[in-house]
Chain A
Amino acid sequence: MTTKSPEATIGQKYIQGATGPWEVVIGLEIHAQVTSNAKLFSGAATEFGAEPNSQVSLVDAAMPGMLPVINEYCVEQAIRTGLGLEAKINLYSVFDRKNYFYPDLPQGYQISQFKQPIVGAGEVHVDLADGTTATIGIERLHLEQDAGKSTHDMHPSKSFVDLNRSGVALMEIVSDPDIRSSEEATLYMSKVRSIVRYLGTCDGNMEQGSMRADVNVSVRRPGDELGTRCEMKNMNSLRFIRAAIEYEARRQIDIIEEGGTISQETRLWDSVNNVTRTMRSKEEAHDYRYFPDPDLLPLEFSQDWVDEIAATLPELPDAKKARFIADMGLSPYDASVLVADQTRAGFFETVAKGRDGKQASNWVTSDLFGALNKADKDITESPVSAEQLGKLIDLITDDTISGKIAKQVFAIMFETGDDADKIVEEKGLRQVTDTGAIEAAIDEIIAANPDKFEEIRTKPKAIGWFVGQVMKATQGKANPGLVNQLLQKKLDG
């Protein structure tokens, strides 16, 4: 039996229990709200944050005799997402009714897809911190309606229902149980979010609930059959997902190690106390009585249409990353950071255009992202545009300023939004390339420090001190290469 901590074993993600290592097995059901102006089966609007019950059609309210009509755009969005997940697109799929009673479900059933979803098996590639890539299988993606929202704290004995969300189109993206750690789970969720954002099929906004996940967790001895799983519903933050998985895995391990068994149940994450709690047991589970919705014909479309949609797909994160590495010389890590967000990647590409990719990447990922982070700003709110940043790099390349001065210039640009050349001119930051002026400064310093100058002959490394002094004397404007060159000449002379 191993006694090493799991962290010490690279590539192994086992959790250490009292009786040995355990493997956690995770599957995610991601609910992603389809970006669409209208709901899945009615013409009502979908805007977030509208007055309660102001975006409700007769269909959404399930008035007697109302019928659903599929919104073709939502179907297109689901196909687009399926293609982005490298998944099989099913040209024939069926809408089913999932029957259950709840006040925010006015029909008494949710229109969903059960046995024949619009999208079948696919896969998502996730870059792990150790530099390896995990492939997470996608079991399926199906279209379904969202329910309304119940509020229980506005009246002592009554609940309030807002049907604005009722009927909004959701894509449920079901992963295979391929995820092996809380880290992988959050990376997977982020990657799916990144893909749907690239595709424009979901805004990925987890706080507003337009992307949330049901997380299934079980544990087993490495190599054993799958254990009994518990499902944690409606997780809408990566931080909570991570914490809930870690708590839940530990809870299950403790139970089994104490001789107990896991009962299959639905749990909720209590983010105040950082624990998961039973919501309903298997015995209380609904029998949803799925059956094909007789109000809707099976969903059928042609491969030609799928091909047309495929032709409009943007370059997705994986392809972009590969290109950044191969064509622009970026490290896999920097490439991952840049492609995670399409706007960031686009910003970088503008900066890098006609310039050194690696240098551009450094400026974007360290200087710009660092400054944005500090200022709590999004890339879209950057005070420095990609064009401006590019021109700053040009000033380094043509020796107008040194890299060090460039950092100062960048800080001012970020503050004021001014162009780099304007700042360089106004502040007199132009690099001194006049050999006469630099030589004069060198001579002055040598004259003042004859001993040190002699020292260099025996300790060549001490030249750095002289370079520093010269830079200081020129307020950093001397071209450091030139200073070195001239000093060497003095020594040789």
Chain B
Amino acid sequence: MTDLTKLSMAEMRDGLRAKTFTSAELTDAHITAMEGARELNAFVVETPEKARAMAAESDKHLAAGIPRGDLEGIPLGIKDLFCTEGVQTTAGSHILEGFTPPYESTITQNLWNDGAVMLGKLNMDEFAMGSSNETSYFGPVKNPWRATGSNFDFVPGGSSGGSAAAVSGFLAPGATGTDTGGSIRQPAAVTGIVGIKPTYGRCSRWGVVAFASSLDQAGPLTRTVRDSAIMLKSMAGHDAKDSTSLQVDVPDFEKALTGDIRGLRIGVPKEYRMDGMPEAIEKLWQQGIEWMKAAGAEIKEISLPHTKYALPAYYIVAPAEASSNLARYDGVKFGQRVEGDDITAMYENSRAAGFGHEVQRRVMIGTYVLSAGYYDAYYLKAQKVRTLIKQDFEKVWGEVDAILTPTTPTPAFGIGEKSSDPLEMYLNDIFTVTANMSGLPAISVPAGLSEDGLPLGLQIIGKALDEETVFRAGGVIEEAAQFTAQPSKWWS
């Protein structure tokens, strides 16, 4: 029998419907893979019993020939930022350790309604703050990929590091992620998988632990573009419980994957050509341009002049919102409490013990930029920059239909390599934050390997609500790149 974990989600869907295998078999194969890969530290909670029960339910639907949705019987991993009823949800933080929500996030509920099976909760940077999964209270996640001939451990990116490791390590065919500044696309890129951040408002934020509300957007991490299209279709949709959720229909994204981009106008923004960018990234980008041209697209150099201000502005807006969103973790109600002599001491002790350093840093930055006397100089100015970045994109949409850029400035780096330098760590988001600041959909597709044999990704940014073009163009890159490399299974 073939290794079921190596199938794509689309293949699993077809195999289950053809009764080539059952959801129980598929789920067991993944439980075995998950349990055998604890060294990767991708999961913070494994839910094999729940998975088997859900698989049994799926098999009934499949046997009856009436699957509830495309995901019927397919096991998935869930980033620990999504509240799951009866299953501990921590956001990677000590302060929420032991918190078991009595409710299910809209997105995970959508997945279960379509028949998906839950394998467990995936590790992540604490409160989604990080680009390496090293800020998790539950320890770093190891990238399944290693450099050629090396036993050195690399980060899987972040904050959806557990999701990326689980999918690239064949522990799950897909996983949910969230992307506030690049937290789906950057880990997808450095683990050789596909990740899409849809248009802001496409997926409900209800039941997703908030980091920066105006930037947070959920999306899938999968091994193929088609699988992302399948999974996003299930996750997306208007939700009356989220005021920022968009009241629009969800297209059948899979149908957009025609492979035909003849006449599509692709913009290449000159501001994304950074000084000191590794040659491999530059070469990959050039290669991407050639692939698009070969497929009949028209390439145009464009200018997004405010790009260089995006990252600093992001690191004001996101911490500002976070400082407020995280105020509820104060030791009073849920999570950890450390007593003190008075209420203020209790707050300080609880938050000092409950939050890790990166979270504390961002809460302090956010508090600072919102403070009287600093608000105008920082928060307000950053919001103005945000408007300018949006306008940059709006101006180019007259000339182009989508934009091609690298996803990250570097391949995966070693665990511990950048964790002492927050500014260098923040640079990981340089190509991805603009899509968050503007709310635009963007996908990362694996496109090649670095000299050391580590995966690299290319990013397609599209117009608001035009995920279909993003998927179609991403599918062309995927097809052209023929990215068949896989990490060697060095763990257990």
Interface residues of A (CB under 8 A from B): 58, 61-70, 97, 99, 101, 103, 106-109, 161, 287, 289-291, 294-297
Contact = CB atoms under 8 A, between A and B. Distances in A.
Contact of A107 (B244, B327, B370): B327
A58 to B, nearest CB: 6
Candidate in A68, A99, A297 with the most chain B CB atoms within 10 angstroms: A99
Given A106-B333, A297-B243, A287 B328 contact: no
A291 B375 contact: yes
Contacts of B371: 287, 289
B213 interface: yes
A99 B324 contact: yes
A108 B363 CA distance: 13
B206 interface: yes
Contacts of A108: 324, 326-328, 330
Contacts of B326: 108
Interface string B99-110: 101110100000
**A interface, by DSSP: helix, strand, loop or mixed?**
loop
Nearest to A291: B370
Nearest to B207: A65
A262 B47 CA distance: 64
Interface of B: 82-83, 89, 91, 96, 99, 101-103, 105, 205-210, 212-214, 240-244, 320-321, 323-324, 326-328, 330, 332-334, 343-344, 347, 367, 370-372, 375, 379
B213 A295 contact: yes
Contact of A294 (B212, B328, B330): B212
A61 B333 CA distance: 9
A289 B320 CA distance: 9
Contacts of A66: 206-207
Candidate in B82, B89, B241 with the most chain A CB atoms within 10 angstroms: B241
A291 B379 contact: yes
A64 B324 contact: no
Given A63-B334, A108-B324, 8 more contacts: A64-B83, A64-B210, A65-B101, A67-B206, A67-B241, A99-B323, A106-B328, A294-B212
In the A-B complex, the 3 residue pairs with the smallest Cβ-Cβ separation, listed nearest first, are A108-B327, A294-B214, A289-B370
A62 B325 CA distance: 10
B369 to A, nearest CB: 9
Nearest to B201: A297
A289 B99 CA distance: 29
A65 B244 contact: no
Given A287-B371, A291-B375, A294-B321, A68 B333 contact: no
Contact of A295 (B83, B244, B330): B244
19 contacts: A58-B103, A63-B103, A64-B83, A64-B89, A65-B82, A65-B105, A66-B206, A67-B243, A99-B370, A103-B343, A108-B326, A161-B332, A287-B371, A289-B371, A291-B321, A291-B375, A295-B213, A295-B244, A297-B243
Contacts of A68: 243
Nearest to A98: B324
B324 A289 contact: yes
A65 B208 contact: yes
A103 B206 CA distance: 24
A169 to B, nearest CB: 16
Nearest to A58: B103
Contacts, number: 95
Nearest to B317: A294
Candidate in A65, A69, A108, A109 with the most chain B CB atoms within 10 angstroms: A65
Contacts of B102: 58
B223 to A, nearest CB: 28
B375 A64 contact: no
B243 A109 contact: no
Contacts of B210: 64-65, 295
Contacts of A67: 205-206, 241-243
Contacts of A63: 83, 101, 103, 334
Candidate in B102, B103, B327 with the most chain A CB atoms within 10 angstroms: B327
Contact of B328 (A69, A107, A291, A295): A107
A297 B375 contact: no
Given A64-B83, A64-B96, A99-B324, A297 B101 contact: no
Contacts of A290: 370
A70 B207 CA distance: 17
A13 to B, nearest CB: 36
Nearest to B99: A64
A427 to B, nearest CB: 67
A65 B106 CA distance: 10
A97 B324 contact: yes
B243 A64 contact: no
Contacts of B328: 62, 64, 106-108
B256 to A, nearest CB: 28
Contacts of B243: 67-70, 295-297
Contacts of A106: 328, 332-333
Contact of A289 (B89, B209, B367): B367
A58 B333 CA distance: 12
Given A101-B347, A103-B332, A294-B214, A64 B209 contact: yes
A295 B82 CA distance: 17
Contacts of B83: 63-65
Nearest to A65: B207
A73 to B, nearest CB: 16
A16 to B, nearest CB: 39
Nearest to A109: B324
Contacts of B240: 69
Contact of A109 (B206, B327, B347, B379): B327
Contacts of B323: 99, 289
Nearest to B89: A64
Given A99-B370, A291-B320, A294-B321, A69 B101 contact: no
Nearest to B380: A291
Contacts of A287: 371-372
A99 to B, nearest CB: 5
A296 B214 CA distance: 9
B332 A69 contact: no
Candidate in B102, B210, B328 with the most chain A CB atoms within 10 angstroms: B328
B321 to A, nearest CB: 6
B95 to A, nearest CB: 10
Candidate in A63, A68, A101, A294 with the most chain B CB atoms within 10 angstroms: A294
Contacts of A69: 240-243
Contacts of B370: 99, 289-291
B246 to A, nearest CB: 11
A67 to B, nearest CB: 5
B349 to A, nearest CB: 13
B213 A294 contact: yes
Contacts of B99: 64
A76 B109 CA distance: 33
A242 B212 CA distance: 46
B253 to A, nearest CB: 25
Contact of B101 (A62, A64, A103, A107): A64
Contacts of A297: 243-244
Nearest to B371: A287
Contacts of B214: 294
A174 B210 CA distance: 33
Contacts of B379: 291
B243 to A, nearest CB: 5
Contacts of B89: 64
Contacts of B208: 65
A290 to B, nearest CB: 8
